[in-house]
Chains A and B, each alone.
Chain A
């Protein structure tokens, strides 16, 4: 349980920068709002506790779905939290979750490129996306009945989601597990809302079909 008492300073809204892009530094110039001059260390820690730490579960879960394993996810979250802490002064109150998840996502991709270059995720994903675009109908695979979907087990579902291209997978996790709105997902993944919608539809259809293949 993380419930932190409110401080007067918290009511001050500062300008927020959402997406620094992967790999960039999150170091920020000190904000000139008059309030930041007092005991910055303590204040930043209080803000970090109140704005970032409540989203640690979602941060870890997103990192795990992107990197595909627990140990990597913990490293990514630690690194992302450090970036978030350095940039905490620029964060406006009230919208911390998409902001935190944006940083986690960017950190995860940077981390993968650096530590798992063999994954070559990006290229593979792009090709997958192209293929999906070119073949909307996919007439070869049968679409399963609703009842069949309903009785699929956890392992089957997890495998189906994990097998998705990363772009579809992260969109589905942000929407169906973490409950972000389309606008927030667009913000976190840095694509237009229309792309969020089509990724979501395609990702869900792939999972549905994969469940159908496994269960029948």
Chain B
């Protein structure tokens, strides 16, 4: 039996356990202690309830409107609002410019709005994949064991992704990381295929109907997107489309626990 860590305060390991900060050995030790110590188990329940409460009532928030503009102005990315300084200007010219501005603005707005949220998510996910390939480490947690990868996410984001074992089908699990798409942290699983990597990002999409994988190519990367149980999955890789197609199908149809 491995010796558990010694803490000055007997409840500290419970917090570390709930925060996903313990290695499997110490996590097991805490579980064993809670099994024989009702007071400790009750403490664990209370802290868990508090964590749920905080997630519910104090969610991560977007910056208030205007703050981004203020910051961009402060660092010189945006000019402070300039005044009309012409000595002579005609009201007619001003009226005309307002009319033109209105037309330009309305068409520009529709053009700017054109890339849908889905497109931006897609671009964000491809960027995250490319970035991960350039980094010295494409993953934050390296493990081929889904029982290690899933709990790692548990301590970091509200909903851990579905993790399946596809090693027998030659798509070994390599690990996982957290990407930020837009301003939302989302879990990404990384699988291997020969010497290539496949990133699968799970984006919460509550209320969206299930859909089968749809292929597309973005910036030379193959991509499959499907929806299941209110989660949109995006698989992106530089492997051949046929391989990614096979992977998406396997990922979708393999039960997480068998």
Contacts and interface: CB of A to CB of B under 8 A. Distances in A.
Contacts of B120: 1, 3
Interface string B17-53: 0010100000000000000000000100111111111
Nearest to B155: A181
B54 A179 contact: no
B85 interface: no
Interface residues of A, number: 60
A74 interface: yes
Nearest to B122: A3
A149 to B, nearest CB: 4
Contacts of A3: 120, 123-124, 127, 181-182
B12 interface: yes
| Interface size class, chain B | 35 or more
B63 interface: yes
Interface in B92-135: 117, 120, 123-124, 127, 130-131, 134-135
A6 B131 contact: yes
B16 A197 contact: yes
A61 interface: yes
B74 interface: yes
Nearest to B58: A177
B70 interface: yes
Contact of B54 (A5, A60, A146, A176): A176
Contacts of A10: 131, 134
A150 B131 contact: no
Contacts of A23: none
A178 B156 CA distance: 9
Contacts of B124: 1, 3
A110 interface: no
A198 B9 contact: yes
A188 interface: no
Interface in B184-218: 185
Nearest to B182: A1
Interface stretch (A26-34, A119-127, A153-161): A153-161
B74 A143 contact: no
Given A1-B117, A157-B57, A157-B58, A85 B50 contact: no
Among A2, A10, A70, the one with the most B-chain Cβ atoms within 10 Å of its Cβ is: A2
A3 B64 CA distance: 19
Contact of B127 (A5, A41, A57): A5
A208 interface: yes
Contact of A70 (B21, B64, B77): B64
A81 B71 contact: yes
Interface in A18-68: 41, 45, 48-49, 53-54, 56-61
A82 B71 CA distance: 8
Contacts of B16: 182, 197
Nearest to A212: B46
Interface in A86-126: 93-94
Interface in B121-180: 123-124, 127, 130-131, 134-136, 155-157, 180
Interface of A: 1-6, 10-11, 13, 41, 45, 48-49, 53-54, 56-61, 70, 74, 77-78, 81-82, 85, 93-94, 136, 143-144, 146, 149-150, 152-154, 157-158, 161, 172-173, 175-179, 181-182, 197-198, 200-201, 204-205, 207-208, 211
16 contacts: A1-B124, A1-B182, A1-B183, A3-B124, A6-B131, A53-B68, A56-B71, A57-B63, A70-B64, A78-B70, A152-B53, A161-B54, A179-B156, A197-B7, A207-B50, A208-B47
Given A150-B49, A208-B47, A208-B50, 7 more contacts: A6-B130, A48-B77, A77-B67, A81-B74, A146-B46, A175-B19, A208-B46
Interface of B: 7-9, 11-12, 15-16, 19, 21, 42, 45-55, 57-64, 67-68, 70-72, 74-77, 117, 120, 123-124, 127, 130-131, 134-136, 155-157, 180-183, 185
